[in-house]
Chains A and B, each alone.
Chain A
Amino acid sequence: MRVAFTLNGHRVEVDVESSETLLDTLRLRLGVKSVKRGCERGECGACSVLLDGRPVVSCLLLTVQVEGREIVTVEGLYGDELFEELFEEFSKNFAIQCGYCTPGMLLTSYALVKRASGGPLRVSGDHIVKAIEGNLCRCGTYPRVVRAVSRVLERRLPSGSRL
């Protein structure tokens, strides 16, 4: 089946079996290697992508289902101000160890900060924990990820207040 969708701002068209997952299309056909193969059953979040701005897992999504939709991976976020800031804080706070969960973790965090910055800021440390529940990190960097994301969010709060 022919499928057309937007990947990181560019229109792509692929010819796939109906049973092909977006994970396979991204990694094997389109060379998007930031999207990691993990559990393949929705539990680990290593294959997360943004679908119309919302985090989803690409292992439980058929490529034919994203016809006309917008997919974003970290490859598409280089140069994005918010993403660069987030990445900087991930590095400064050692929120990356082996790195396998990192692209997914960054995408989920990015979606959270983006959404919090859009409306009135209603985010707390608990929200960060809840947002990244679906991104497993076997190195156990969770507290560092929460710290990194908190720093970015704090900069968006009225001066002097803390998360």
Chain B
Amino acid sequence: MYYKLPRIEYYRPKTLEEAVRLLEEVEGSKVIAGGTDLLVDMKTSRAKARALVDVNSIAELRGVEDLGEVVRIGAATKLQELLESPIISENLPLLRAAVESMASWQIRNMATIGGNLCNASPAADTAPPLLAYEAELVIAGRGGLRTVPITKFFTGYRRTALSPTEVLKDIIVRKSEWTGWGYIKLGRRGGFTLSVVAVAALARVRDGVIEDVRIALNSVAPTPVRAYRTEEALRGREVSRDLLEKVARTVVDEISPIDDVRSTAWYRREMSYRLALDALTEALGVK
């Protein structure tokens, strides 16, 4: 096959203000970051754009910062940079585990965390850990900055709370004392693959009691999702194998998987249960 991209105008602003202005003024313009979703979609006519606004040269959109109470990740930070960041491995091991499972070295050198979120694929791999951490997303628009919790960001299949003229600026994650985490991504092969289902779990256990727990999954609903009811059924309870086995099934009622090229709805339901059980076992430190 020989793909050809349609004619486009190309802009590379150095500041966020300029990027927002371009998105407002240039008709049919879209943000491009790593281009690993957008250019594939444009080659296959799944996405259309008349002009591209490249955000890679906007310094304030790049890098990982430890701000004491929170970690700030610039939206245009490359996945590979996250993988190599000591701040991420120390503070956000669950996010690191997910990024490590993503794509290939080449793609991770190009793809950005913001692109993964804004593309809003149900299979987005940075979404489950960030949903579990309850990250805050800082969005820049004409009126300045606004903050949206990631739990309100995904509004439907490949839809987000962003307007077409807004730019995702930062991903802010509050540091919390989690005592454990678990992450499992199941794909059709061992590596370099999209998920059939992935489960991310965070837990805080004190004296054998589950103080807090968060569970999020991808590829099992129109958007990446949290499993709130399963979390509720675990919170405040004493950690035990029995409890987990009883409760982990609840995730199946919180998802709405479909049959597609990667798997069937039935298999996704079964594996969501199994993987939730395993990820929670790890996160809660169940013997």
Contact = CB atoms under 8 A, between A and B. Distances in A.
Q: Do A and B make up one complex?
A: yes
Interface of A: 1, 17-21, 37, 40-42, 45, 48, 51, 54-57, 60-62, 64-65, 67, 108, 129-131, 133-135
Contacts of B8: 18-19
Of all A-B residue pairs in the complex, the 5 with the closest CB atoms, nearest first, are A134-B104, A18-B10, A19-B5, A133-B192, A134-B106
Interface string B20-63: 00000000000010111001100110000000101010000000
Contacts of A40: 1-3, 43
Given A18-B10, A40-B3, A42-B36, A130 B191 contact: yes
Interface residues on B, range: 20 to 34
Given A56-B106, A134-B103, 4 more contacts: A40-B3, A42-B107, A64-B10, A131-B105
A133 B102 CA distance: 11
A18 B80 CA distance: 26
Contact of A62 (B3, B35, B104): B35
B36 A62 contact: no
A131 B103 CA distance: 11
Given A65-B56, A133-B191, A42 B106 contact: yes
A84 B6 CA distance: 40
Nearest to A68: B57
A56 B110 contact: yes
Contact of A134 (B34, B43, B56, B105): B105
Interface core residue of B3, B40, B106 (most chain A CB under 10 Å): B106
B7 interface: yes
The listed residue with most B CB atoms (<10 A of its CB), out of A37, A51, A55, is A55
Interface of B: 1-10, 12, 32, 34-36, 39-40, 43-44, 52, 54, 56, 80, 103-107, 109-110, 191-192
Contacts of B191: 129-130, 133
Contacts of A54: 80, 109
Contacts of B40: 41-42, 60
Contacts of B2: 37, 40
A21 B54 CA distance: 15
17 contacts: A19-B5, A20-B5, A37-B2, A40-B3, A41-B3, A48-B106, A54-B80, A55-B106, A56-B110, A62-B32, A64-B12, A67-B12, A108-B105, A130-B105, A134-B104, A134-B106, A134-B192
Contacts of B32: 62
Nearest to A136: B192
Given A21-B5, A40-B2, A134-B192, A57 B106 contact: yes
Contacts of A67: 12
A1 B4 CA distance: 18
Contacts of A21: 5, 39
A134 B10 contact: no
A61 B35 contact: yes
Among A37, A57, A67, A133, which residue has the most Cβ atoms of chain B within 10 A? A133
Contacts of B104: 45, 133-135
B110 A61 contact: yes
Contacts of A42: 36, 40, 106-107
Contacts of B6: 19
A77 B6 CA distance: 34
Given A40-B1, A133-B192, A134-B104, A55 B109 contact: yes
A19 B50 CA distance: 10
A61 B111 CA distance: 11
Contacts of A62: 10, 32, 35, 39, 52
A55 B105 contact: yes
Given A18-B10, A21-B5, A51 B109 contact: yes
Nearest to A134: B104
A60 B10 contact: no
